[in-house]
Amino acid sequence: MTLRLGDFAPDFDQDSSIGPINFYDWSRDSWVVLFSHPADFTPVCTTELGLTAKLKPEFDKRNVKALALSVDAAESHKNWIKDIEATQRTVVGFPIIADADKHVSELYDMIHPEQSSTVTVRSVFVIDPQRKVRLILTYPLSTGRNFDEILRVIDALQLTDSHTVATPGNWKDGDDVIIPLSVQDPELIKQKYPKGYTAERPYLRLTPQPNK
């Protein structure tokens, strides 16, 4: 199954490091970062899960839950978590899906045969509270993910959901944002963007971030 932006994220029931979970029941009204790992007790994955654990306060501020996945069994996950916590000096406060039958991996197209026919690549899905897929990233097996970028995109998605703006390249929370081309009425512009704007070109209008 190939997922695209805007698709509903498939529901699933699967075992995990914290016991059986139903994805929709577990996620409830939160944003979710679902990210896959090739296997337990692998070096790159260990650092990634440690980073994710340390970012829990940042995820909590944004109403985001982290959900990892590996094709190994739940008991293996529990033992691996001990290693992660010891080597990365943190506490893993999120579940790791035990996808031994590759059910979730196939639902989310996480296995790329030209990379490996038996383990998942480093897929990332950001899923909103309406359970729609809002971001898809795929990293090769040898490259660790940039979790600062994942947080940055979540900030942008949440901002553009709540305000009629777009974000420029390399945007970070607090930077100026873009007035979309769909907004042209002068009175509406005054109403929506009371801080004013600057226009390098008629199609490129920058305004201070509305909620700052």
Catalytic residue among 21, 32, 34, 45: 45
Burial class (CB in 10 A: 0-12, 13-18, 19+), 154: buried
Joined tokens for residue 138:
């795929």
H or E stretch at 31: strand 31-37
The pair phi, psi for residue 190, each rounded to 5°, is -60, -40
Q: Is 137 helix (H, G, I), strand (E, B) or coil?
A: strand
Asked about 81 being catalytic, the answer comes back as: no
Cα–Cα dist 181/183, whole Å: 5
How far apart CA 91 and CA 16 sit, in angstroms, is: 17
For residue 103 the two structure tokens come to 């059910």
* Strands across the sheet containing 64-70: 96-98, 64-70, 31-37, 122-127, 133-139
Strand partners, 137: 124
Give the residue numbers marked as catalytic: 45
